[in-house]
Amino acid sequence: MPRANTREKEAYRKLSIKASPPRSVLRNAVVAFLVGGAICLVGQIVLSWISSTGIGRVQALSRTQTIMVFLGAFFTGLGLYDKLGGVAGMGAAIPITGFANSIVSPAMEFKREGFVLGVSARMFQVAGPVIVYSFIASLLVSSAALILAR
Amino acid sequence: MIYIRAFIVGGILCALAQVVLDSTKVNPAVIMVSAACTGAILSGLGLYGTLVSYAGAGAAVPLFGFGHTLVQGMMEDVAKEGWFGLFTGGFRASSAALTGAVVFGYLMAVLFNPKG
């Protein structure tokens, strides 16, 4: 088999760069900023609306998080959130709506394996690790604060 | 204006996570775990509470805020009932979000089917 000459190699390299998707770190960060910011803006509208009923600050924040979880789960069900995730990456994954997406998406996918080992077991494929490590980290941080406060 | 602050702070937190993802190529799930843990650490240092009062949902909606919620709940219960609060505060403070995640997550997964 004849070996490709330098010119052919160069042409192939240029073509492969053109054909592969653009992976600019800056561009991805800007998209994540815009989408993540927009989701948080929706969250803020919900928070301001709940706060206007005169409820306490902590309760208002917790209700906002719950409503955002509902919205994330709902739009994942409609098939829209996964599309957003493909475009925005962490801009869709980091808000708590992305946490809900990480629950509904695999649960729907594995429905054919049944409702126990399919849906309910797969729900926590990503959310499970998030819960496990955030509880361990929080317990360590709070223990440290408790010890230092003595 | 709280809406602009929420947009900018929430956007920056997501952009930071995106930059870490792109420059390290680790699994997105690892970034989500790290975000929640980072929020817990920042909360312990007293920084995240300040960010929540400054940016509202911009700090509370990203996963960093989940770690903060847990630490806040644990500290509150520790103040009330001593060290055992470490075991009650986390779930108490995050109960609404976790119950929502279980109930709505299950409901949507049962009601809808994957597209495409």
**Alpha-carbon gap, residue B51 to A43, rounded angstroms:** 15
**Alpha-carbon gap, residue A84 to A102, rounded angstroms:** 13
pLDDT at B90 over 80: yes
> Is-contact A75 B77, C-beta < 8 A?
no
> Is-contact B52 B59, C-beta < 8 A?
yes
| Contacts with B23 (C-beta within 8 Å, 6 or more apart), sequence order | A25
Of residues A133 and A4, the one with the higher pLDDT is A133
pLDDT at A12 over 90: no
Mutation choice for A interface testing from B2, B27, B61, B69 by most A CBs within 10 A: B61
Nearest to B109 among A107, A126, A144 (CB): A107
What per-residue confidence (pLDDT) applies to A45? 98
Domain regions of chain B by residue span: 2-111
**Alpha-carbon gap, residue B28 to A104, rounded angstroms:** 16
Q: Which residue has the tokens 């052919």?
A: A8
pLDDT band, residue A22 (cuts 50/70/90): low
In whole angstroms, what separates CA A23 from the centre of its chain?
A: 19
Percent of chain B with pLDDT over 70: 99
DSSP, res B13: H
What per-residue confidence (pLDDT) applies to A6? 76
pLDDT at A35 over 90: yes
Read off the pLDDT of residues A86-117 as tens digits, 9 standing for 90 and up: 999 999 999 999 999 999 999 999 999 999 99
Per-position b or e across B55-81, b if 16+ CB within 10 A of its CB: bbbbbbbbbbbbbbbbbbbbbbbbeee
Q: Do A142 and B97 touch (CB under 8 A)?
A: no
Residue range A40-52: average pLDDT? Answer: 97
Q: Quote the pTM value.
A: 0.89
Q: Which amino acid is at A3?
A: R
Which neighbouring-strand residues pair with B62? A95
CA of A68 vs chain B CAs: smallest distance (Å): 8
**Alpha-carbon gap, residue A85 to B21, rounded angstroms:** 14
Residue range B6-35: average pLDDT? Answer: 96
**Alpha-carbon gap, residue A108 to A103, rounded angstroms:** 9
What per-residue confidence (pLDDT) applies to A1? 52
What per-residue confidence (pLDDT) applies to B98? 97
User: Which residues of chain B does A31 touch, with a Cβ-Cβ cutoff of 8 Å?
Assistant: 18
Domain regions of chain A by residue span: 22-125
Read off the pLDDT of residues B73-89 as tens digits, 9 standing for 90 and up: 999 999 999 999 999 99
What per-residue confidence (pLDDT) applies to A20? 60
Neighbours of A30 (CB within 10 A): 15
* DSSP secondary structure of B21-86: HHHH---HHHHHHHHHHHHHHHHHTTHHHHHHHHHTHHHHSBTHHHHHHHHHHHHHHHHHHGGGHH
CA of B88 vs chain A CAs: smallest distance (Å): 11
User: Which residues of chain A does B89 touch, with a Cβ-Cβ cutoff of 8 Å?
Assistant: 142
Nearest to A137 among B21, B41, B94 (CB): B41
Prediction ipTM score: 0.95
**Alpha-carbon gap, residue B96 to A62, rounded angstroms:** 6
Read off the pLDDT of residues B46-78 as tens digits, 9 standing for 90 and up: 999 999 999 999 999 999 999 999 999 999 999
Cβ–Cβ pairs < 8 A, chains A and B: 274
Q: Do A133 and B78 touch (CB under 8 A)?
A: no
The two structure tokens encoding residue A104:
């509904």
**Alpha-carbon gap, residue B110 to A144, rounded angstroms:** 42
Quote the crossing angle between the two packed helices A80-88 and A57-77, to the nearest 10°. Answer: 100
Q: Do A44 and B83 touch (CB under 8 A)?
A: no
What per-residue confidence (pLDDT) applies to A8? 75
Q: Do A95 and B10 touch (CB under 8 A)?
A: yes
Q: Which amino acid is at A82?
A: D
Average pLDDT along chain A = 92
φ/ψ (deg, to 5) at B62: -60, 155
pLDDT band, residue A17 (cuts 50/70/90): low
Nearest to A127 among B64, B65, B101 (CB): B101
pLDDT at A3 over 90: no
